[in-house]
Amino acid sequence: MGLMALNRLMSRQREQKQKRNRGRMEANNGWIASFSKRNRSPCRQDVNSHGGKKVRYPMPDLPEDIWRHIHFLLPMQDAARAACLSRSFQSSWKCYPNLTFTNETMCSKETLCKRTTGSNVIRDYNNKIDRVLRNHSGAGVKKLRLEYYVIPCDAEPYHHLTSWLQIAVTPGIEQLHLTLSPKDATFNFPCMLLSETCQGSMQYLHLANLDLHPTFQLGLRTLRTLHLCNVHITEDELGCLLTHSFALAHLRLQYCHDIIRLEIPCLLQRLRFLEVLECSLQVLEINAPNIFRLRLLDFSVQFLLGKSWKMKNLMLNNSFVISYAIDNLPSCAPKVETLTIHSSYEILNVPVASSKFRHLKFLNIYLAGLHSHRDYDYLSLVSFFDASPLLEKFVLLVSRVQSKYDWFEGDPSSLRQMSELNLRMVSYLNYT
Digit-coded pLDDT (tens) for 218-246: 878 899 999 999 999 999 999 988 888 99
For the chain, give the percent of residues with pLDDT over 90.
Answer: 26
Query: pLDDT higher for 204 or 398?
Result: 204
Domain spans of the chain?
3-84, 312-402+419-432
pLDDT at 377: 75
pLDDT score for 159 = 85
Q: What angle do CA 262, 267, 269 make, to 5 degrees?
A: 105
Region 316-342: what's the mean pLDDT? 87
Per-residue pLDDT at 254: 96
List Cβ neighbours of 393 (8 Å cut-off, separation of 6 or more): 361, 362, 363, 425, 427, 428
* Residue 124 predicted with pLDDT over 80: yes
Mean pLDDT of the chain: 77
Mean pLDDT: which of 21-25, 53-57, 315-319 is highest? 315-319
Residues in contact with 361: Cβ distance below 8 Å, sequence separation at least 6, in sequence order: 337, 338, 390, 391, 392, 393
pLDDT at 308 (0 to 100): 76
Q: How confident is the model at residue 110 (pLDDT cuts 50, 70, 90)?
A: low
Q: How confident is the model at residue 47 (pLDDT cuts 50, 70, 90)?
A: very low
Which pLDDT score is estimated for 339? 95
Extract the runs of DSSP E, i.e. beta strands, from 137-199.
143-149, 175-181
Which of residues 28 and 331 earns the better pLDDT score?
331
Q: How high is the pLDDT of residue 424? A: 41
Whether residue 2 has pLDDT greater than 80 = no
| C-beta of residue 400 within 8 angstroms of C-beta of residue 372 | no
The enclosing H or E element of 231 equals strand 225-232
For residues 114 and 158, what is the distance between their CA atoms, to the nearest angstrom?
A: 25
Does pLDDT of 199 surpass 70?
yes
Task: Specify the pLDDT at position 179.
Answer: 95
pTM of the model: 0.75
